[in-house]
Amino acid sequence: MRKPTAHPELPCANDSLNLTPIPPASIEARKHWKYRYKLGYWSYPKGMVQRAYFNAAAGSEYSTYIENPRRTPALIRRVCLVLRMWVDLIEETRPFPTVPLRLHIRAYNPQTQTPGNDLLARAVMLSRTDRKLKAWFDVRQDSIIMPPEGVCVGVEWLCSDTVQMEGSPVEPPVQVFTGGTDGQSWECSNGDPWQPLRMHNAANTPVNMRIGIEVLQ
């Protein structure tokens, strides 16, 4: 289903995500947030070992856990995801088809230690016309609050009229890394249970996505 593709390294971005919504009245009561800062994997952590790019089959979703270090509510402003260039700019003999990406911000389930319910009600998507290495998703209008236990943030490769769930990889690939932190990323497809996101190597090494969030607190 997933084909890890160790493409050449490209300039990269930043952190990971954590979120939970609160009623609009509560949001209005806290108009003046004091701090703005970044969480997740905006940069590589110390001890990072290997970098690669993963793409997935249409219908697959990757999600990465982002801790809330202050254990207090924070408003999610935007998400940053590190990508490889889109298909027509990649030197491939048979380029994979390209599909849009949809952003997901999920609650973290401490019982199962996997992503939970989606906290982002509307469809926030990135199309191939953006042609970016750092994809920014603005979610300020969604008033998503990161809970003390953190959140899981990720993307889904959407099916289309021409690209269905066939198990073959599609573009764009997302950047992942190993080392520096425990594996806190998962993958699922077509409603299957979440599974740890890992390298296809002898050690079955866990990986994390290069994804981050900017929050107000």
Tens digit of pLDDT for each residue in 40-56? 988 777 777 888 888 88
How many domains in the chain? 1
Q: Please state whether the predicted TM-score (pTM) of the whole model is above 0.85.
A: no
* DSSP character at residue 192: P
Whole-angstrom distance between the N-terminal and C-terminal Cα of the chain?
A: 39
Q: What percent of the chain has pLDDT over 90?
A: 30
pLDDT in tens, 149-187: 999 999 998 887 666 656 677 778 888 888 767 678 999
Find where tokens 């981050």 sit. Answer: 212
Cα 25 to Cα 21, 34, 75, 107: the distances in Å are: 12, 19, 14, 21
Q: Is the peptide bond before 172 cis (omega within 30 degrees of 0)?
A: yes
pLDDT in tens, 120-154: 999 988 765 455 577 888 999 999 999 999 999 99
Question: What residue numbers bound the domain in which 142 lies?
Answer: 3-216
- Note the pLDDT of residue 13: 27
The answer to whether 38 and 128 are in contact (CB under 8 A) is no
What does the alpha-carbon distance between residue 19 and residue 108 come to, in Å, rounded to a whole number?
9
What does the alpha-carbon distance between residue 67 and residue 119 come to, in Å, rounded to a whole number?
16
Could you tell me where the DSSP H helices lie in 90-184? none
Confidence band of 67 (pLDDT split at 50, 70, 90) = very high
